[in-house]
Amino acid sequence: MKRNWMAYPYFFWMLLFTIVPLLMVLYFSFTASVNGDGRFSFANFQRVLDPLYLNVIWRSVRLAFISTVICLVLGYPVAMLLAQSQASRQFTLIVLFVIPMWMNFLARTYAWMTLLERNGLINTFLGWFGLGPYNLLHTEFAVVLGMIYNFLPFMVLPIYTVLNKMDPALTEASYDLGATPIRTFFRVTLPLSLPGVLSGISMVFMPAVTTFVIPQLLGGGQFTMIGNLIEQQFLRSNDWGFGSALSIILMLLILLSMRIMSHYDRDRGEGGGFF
């Protein structure tokens, strides 16, 4: 009974800073405007069906999906290299990999602006080979590149954690049974690492689809994503009702992606191998 008292501060914190704000967002989403008369209305959600806003949502999902796939393709080999390196070197390699995350998110994004601008380091380097200069900044390429750079560690670390805990005897047994390294990877390593893969996908996709700083800086505001649209409604247009409706839709998208990941993870746990 005494232990239950220790949980009360947590429940109070969750109620005050999570449940109440969510209820307020839900209330405003069904209200015509923040200064309105409080009448129940679906008008804010109907506005989302405008092709302009649907295009913004689609762009957000598309760029987040592309970033997540590239992070997975790049992150999985890095996680394997970390897991297979000597124990004495793993800590040093992980620290070197995580050090950029210690910097401020905004500062890291500003750094890419100096790299990608027309007179930046990348175009200068390409100029030595007679290439460019290219318009790299304020493009979808720059936005995706910024997402990959900022969110890649969220893909690598969960996969590394799972691979590092994997029993090496399993792969050795696969080799002893005559399996090739590729077959061993698809039949043993990849299936056992799927919990880390699914966790990494969720941890990359969710911040990627909600980000607004990266499109604003690296995209120059030309590629509005749903995070930018929500920010505009709250801070510029003062349309809290529409901003809240967009927030609810974004929340539903994230919950749907998490549901798909958890459902697939449960099926993998019950279904056995990869093939």
Question: How confident is residue 268, by pLDDT bands cut at 50, 70 and 90?
Answer: low
CB 175 within 8 A of CB 134: no
Question: How confident is residue 274, by pLDDT bands cut at 50, 70 and 90?
Answer: very low
Residue 19 lies in a domain: no
pTM of the model: 0.86
What pLDDT is recorded for position 271? 41
Tens of pLDDT along 205-253? 999 999 999 999 999 888 889 999 999 998 888 888 899 999 999 998 8
Stretch 132-155: mean pLDDT:
92
Which of 80-84, 93-97, 207-211 shows the lowest mean pLDDT across its residues? 93-97
pLDDT at 150 over 90: yes
Tens of pLDDT along 21-61? 999 999 989 886 544 556 788 888 989 999 999 999 999 99
pLDDT at 273 over 50: no
Residue 51 lies in a domain: no
Structure tokens at 15: 């109620």
Residue 16 lies in a domain: no
Determine if residue 132 is left, alpha or beta; phi over 0 gives left, psi from -120 to 50 gives alpha, anything else beta.
left
Stretch 135-144: mean pLDDT:
92
Rounded Cα distance, 221 and 213, in Å: 10
Residue 22 lies in a domain: no
Residue 42 lies in a domain: no
Judged by DSSP in three states, 1 sits in coil
Strands (E) in the chain, as ranges, are none
- β-bridge mates for residue 31, sequence order: 40
Residue 7 lies in a domain: no
- β-bridge mates for residue 40, sequence order: 31
Structure tokens at 207: 């911040």
Residue 191 lies in a domain: yes
What pLDDT is recorded for position 253? 86
What pLDDT is recorded for position 33? 58
What pLDDT is recorded for position 228? 92
Stretch 97-101: mean pLDDT:
84
Tens of pLDDT along 66-77? 999 999 999 999
pLDDT at 86 over 70: yes
Can you give the length of the chain in residues?
275
What pLDDT is recorded for position 265? 64
Residue in the structure block whose two tokens are 């957000």: 60
What pLDDT is recorded for position 94? 87
Residue 54 lies in a domain: no
Q: What separation in angstroms does the CA of 36 have from each of 30, 45, 49, 265?
A: 11, 16, 22, 45
My answer on whether omega of the bond before 77 falls inside 30° of 0, hence cis, is: no
Stretch 85-103: mean pLDDT:
84
What pLDDT is recorded for position 270? 45
pLDDT at 148 over 90: yes
149: domain CATH number is 1.10.3720.10
What pLDDT is recorded for position 200? 93
pLDDT at 4 over 80: no
pLDDT at 98 over 60: yes
Could you tell me what percent of the chain has a pLDDT over 70?
92
Q: Output the average pLDDT for the chain.
A: 86
Structural domain boundaries, residue 137: 59-271
Return the CA Rg of the chain.
Answer: 23
Rounded Cα distance, 144 and 163, in Å: 27
Q: In this structure, which long-range contacts are made by residues 189-193, counting pairs with CB atoms below 8 Å and at least 24 apart in sequence?
A: 189/80, 189/163, 190/274, 191/268, 191/272, 191/273, 191/274, 192/162, 192/166, 193/159, 193/162, 193/163, 193/166
Domains of the chain: total: 1
pLDDT at 163 over 80: yes
